[in-house]
Amino acid sequence: MKYTSDYDFTKIPFDRIVRLGQISMLKNDMFTVSWLLGRYCNYKCSYCWTHGRADKKDHRPTALCLKTIDSIKEQARSRGFNSFHFSLSGGEPTLHPGYFDILDRLLEDIENTNYTSVHMTTNLSKGYKWFDEYIKRAVKFNRASITASYHYEYATNNSKFADKLVYLQKAGINITINMVMVPERFDHLYNLAVYFQTRGLNVTLKPQSDPHANYVVKGYTKNELDILHNGMPQLDHKKPFMQVSLIDDENKEWFMDQAERFNAFNFNCFKGWECSAGYRSIIIREPCGSIKRSYSCIDKPIGNIKTGFKLHDKIMPCISPSCVSSADSKIPKRKPGYDMVLWNINKNKM
């Protein structure tokens, strides 16, 4: 088993990187949507951000969600994007009463797209009956993936947790387990990560962030930071694979297996960079319903799920101090003053 990456991510000259992005967005006409369907969650983890969950159901009407999907596709297509990635999270997204209706709406239009993928971040608390209904729909997409958040305060049976994920993976769903590596429990959590990987499951070792998710908390030893930097490489059919491309100021390309490692290196400050968020990607937040360029963007929202929204007509500079989420970090972006193409869909520079 591979517990340490053969590709040494510590060698990446982060201070010299001038362009980066998720490879699927750099090389394809991919428009991405990160959608928090609601903050309502059936778990109440002690380490969860105060704004990350809610006890009260706060889901938007399903009809409004479907209308929003149609508007997203219409505007994206007007800008030349006809491949789509929808990432659904929460709270706990499986508690949204219209979750399957949302997947069905995406499937209705899939033949008119070049590519459509769906992702879900879930605590995996739903039973097999629910996931069987999910599988029936998920396998019809070009790609379906799940990030299963492991919460040690609720996952009382690690074997059953792994069993359910193996079941989903055998059905064709791409699986990653997201583990927040709380410093005080690091060794125990790492041993669990090793167990999950022996079951054939990818594991993301996520550093714990401060309450505002701006930086990694203190308390990690050097050895623990080394593990966060290079531990648990993402595997595809037992072989390492890379999801993010980074270009330095000498035009040398570097790679990263997942954007979550950005935070492990505290490489998440892109203020002043030209970022395509808001032009070819959006996030939808709850409970306010605002539609923004990214999770951490301090710009004014580009709209609201209730009243509609308008994508940017051009690439805009980042004015935010840091990217809270890896979903923000991996959106194609470049330092000002560099004219390299932001993506290779066509020959025209953006």
Burial class (CB in 10 A: 0-12, 13-18, 19+), 12: buried
pLDDT at 280: 96
Q: What is the pTM for the complete model shown?
A: 0.92
- What confidence score (pLDDT) does residue 350 get? 39
Read off the amino acid at residue 309. Answer: F
- Please give the pLDDT value at position 323: 87
Question: For the segment 158-206, what is each residue's pLDDT rounded down to a tens digit?
Answer: 999 999 999 999 999 999 998 889 899 999 999 999 999 999 999 999 8
pLDDT at site 212: 65
**pLDDT of amino acid 123:** 92
For the chain, list residues with pLDDT below 50: 347-350
pLDDT tens digits for range 319-330: 998 887 888 999
Domains, the chain, ranges and CATH?
Answer: 28-242+278-314 (3.20.20.70)
* pLDDT confidence of residue 40: 84
Please name every residue paired with 120 in a beta bridge, in sequence order, or none if there are none: 88, 146
Positions of E strands within the chain: 17-22, 30-36, 83-89, 115-122, 143-150, 174-181, 202-207, 235-236, 239-240, 244-248, 253-256, 274-275, 281-284, 290-292, 303-304, 308-309, 316-317, 333-334
